[in-house]
Amino acid sequence: MLRPMSPHVDLSYTVDLLLRLLNTPSPTGFTEGAIALAERELSAMGLQGERTKKGALRWTLPGTSGGRHLTFSAHVDTLGAMVKSIKPNGRLTLTRLGGYDWHSIEGEYVQVHTQAGNTISGTIVLTRQSIHVYADASTTKRDADSLEVRLDERTASDDDTRALGVQVGDFVSFDPRAQHLPSGHIKSRHLDNKAAAAILLAVTRALHGAALPHTVTMYLSTYEEVGHGAAHGIPDTTDELIAVDMAALGEGQNGSEHHVTLCVKDSTGPYDHALGNRLRAVAHDAGIDLRPDIYPHYGSDASAAWAAGGDYPAALIGPGVDASHAYERTHEDALRATADLIVAYVTSP
């Protein structure tokens, strides 16, 4: 049974929405389904979002006069691929969308999204897959040349595959295999960053209609995985930008699947020290165990917004997610803690 997330945010709603987002394909450049889902959720709350020309979605909860304008960003675009070429045997080569290791997608089920709006299922396999046939199957380097998509259709040539409607440039999404387990764990591809998107919508649902001391804008970007998601679209009146994204876990890291993390530095450099300290102080007062951490191979919407000239302090928080950019896992505890921190921060003086 789900425990209450906080007096404000409904954990059951958050997890249900997260699972629906996870099961909505949205590789970078193909995010219409996820953005439309978010718009439907806002409509059910009596709110309406605004799309940027770039395809991002934002909405604002008004605050009292004299308060700050706080913007929170998350992204709905995920890792994925596009069809690079159609091979003479009818199979497909891929080009990556986002920064993942090729070995992490071997054996994954995929959907090819055609220009006609159809989907064709397939599996990512080695070009020399069968261990009974190829002695080097276990030692072959996994890369764009050695992996291909085997379509689940009767196709033995490039002409057969083209007759199915498949073209170079078609988007390819990975099966998330999303599960919510009795232990409270959620495991799936693409928790980066649909976990944060679900949290922002759940926080909105909880706070809509409340008297807030600060104006709060929520921003869902669509190109974060390729580095320029929030380079445009953050409101000009923003006083503080807080990116909400997954916290990477691993040996030597300080976070966990059960906590919210404050990233103080990533590959782009340190985030704003004073804003980070304000988040720490609010977390302390609210009894939230906020874990500071550093990610050496990471960038966020906040760093993209800064690189584009954003003139505001920026910070990065998020739920701990294990095995980032592979088959990921988090826990209800981390969703709860992240939502609690956002609620505590936007309602503090």
Catalytic residue among 41, 108, 148, 224: 224
20-40 per-position pLDDT tens digit:
999 999 999 999 999 999 999
Q: CA-CA distance, 196 to 201, in Å (whole number)? A: 9
**CA-CA distance, 72 to 58, in Å (whole number)?**
10
Give residue 73's pLDDT.
98
Q: What is the model's pLDDT at position 36?
A: 98
pLDDT at 2 over 70: no
At 112, give phi and psi (nearest 5°): -95, 125
CA–CA dist 281, 134 (Å, integer)? 59
Token couple for 332:
């209800």
Q: Is 325 annotated as a binding residue?
A: yes
Q: Would you give the DSSP letter of residue 2?
A: P
Superfamily of domain covering 11-78+190-346: Zn peptidases (3.40.630.10)
Nearest alpha-carbon partner for 285 in 203, 343, 206, 219: 343
Has 245 been labeled as part of a binding site? yes
Looking at the chain, the domain(s) classified CATH 3.40.630.10 span: 11-78+190-346
Tens of pLDDT, residues 43-74 = 999 999 999 999 999 999 999 888 999 999 99
HSE of 221, CA atoms in CB hemisphere, 13 A = 28
Q: Which CATH superfamily is domain 80-174 in?
A: Peptidase M42, domain 2 (2.40.30.40)
Does 69 carry a binding-site annotation?
no
Q: Where in the chain is the domain with CATH 2.40.30.40?
A: 80-174
Global pTM value: 0.96
Active site residue 240: no
Average pLDDT for residues 170-197, to the nearest whole number? 98
| Cα 337 to Cα 344: distance, rounded to the nearest angstrom | 10
Rounded to whole angstroms, the maximal C-alpha distance in the chain is 72
